[in-house]
Amino acid sequence: MSVVAVASPDILEKSPAGGSADLVSCPPLENGDRLTRKEFERRYEGMPHVKKAELIEGVVYMGSPVRIKSHSKPHGMVLTWLGAYSAATPGTDFGDNGSLRLDLDNEPQPDAYLRLASGGRSQIDNEDYLLGAPELIVEIAASSASIDFGAKRSTYRPNGVQAHLVWRTLERTIDWWELVDGDYRPLKPDANGVIENQAFPGLRPALAPLLNEDLKMVLEEQQRGLQSEAHRSFARRLGISSSSTSR
């Protein structure tokens, strides 16, 4: 097993014989490692070939190979849907696979997120990480056995993630929880199979089109949400907040 030398000054130390400083080898990340967030980031940065690793309650979880129908295609649809909402809602921002510095024991890397760019709980820090909790986190999961249901959701709640959507691709199910009075409550779709939510008014996940990979219908339903009075009112509030923050 190869090791990676990391040339960061803060990990140089003297040789046992007291000679000149030598580089300390950086151990690779392994599933199940128990690490601090600082040590997790040190090892992760020393493994540029690794595309996804997460720290949940101090435990390392490594990503598996990404399949097309069970992950990549749903992931792309979610990003297109969130991007359409964000483009029509100034003051919001979205992204995918960014490492989130939630607290000292947790650095998840969710498949997608939507956040308030002004006046929200998260900000981009000087190392280009997202610090704090975005308002909505989306995960693409194979099944309810995924860590997205257990350890992650338990981590998101105390950090104030307002909404958590999990698309269980093998079970053809989409679950949405919103944080209400300090606990997550599931939201049920309306008679048209659309979920209305408080976290982002006008954001309308249409379940059947998503599950059927009908992107055209997903975007048409989202457009109806953008034309709603709830979204117009929300956009006005964000505009006022953004203007006052920029002064």
pLDDT for 241: 53
68-240, what's its fold?
tt1808, chain A (3.90.1570)
Dihedrals phi, psi of 214, to nearest 5 degrees? -100, 85
Question: Which residues neighbour 244 within 8 Å (Cβ) at sequence distance 6 or greater?
Answer: none
What is the rounded distance in angstroms from the CA atom of residue 78 to the CA atom of residue 111?
Answer: 9
pLDDT for 142: 78
Angle formed by the axes of helices 215-226 and 73-87, nearest 10°: 20
pLDDT for 89: 96
pLDDT for 173: 93
pLDDT for 65: 79
What pTM does this model have? 0.81
pLDDT for 232: 96
Q: Which two tokens stand for residue 16?
A: 């046992």
Sequence spans of domains, the chain: 68-240
pLDDT for 119: 87
Mark the ranges of the chain whose per-residue pLDDT is less than 70. 1-24, 143-145, 148-149, 240-247
Bridge partners, residue 236, by sequence: none
Angle CA 115–121–124, to nearest 5: 70
Residue with tokens 């097309």: 68
What is the rounded distance in angstroms from the CA atom of residue 53 to the CA atom of residue 106?
Answer: 11
Rounded to the nearest integer, the mean pLDDT of the chain is 86
**Secondary structure of 150-217 in HEC code, one letter for each residue:** CHHHHHHHHHCCCEEEEEECCCCEEEEEEEECCEEEECCCCCCCECCCCCCCCCCCEHHHHHCCCHHH
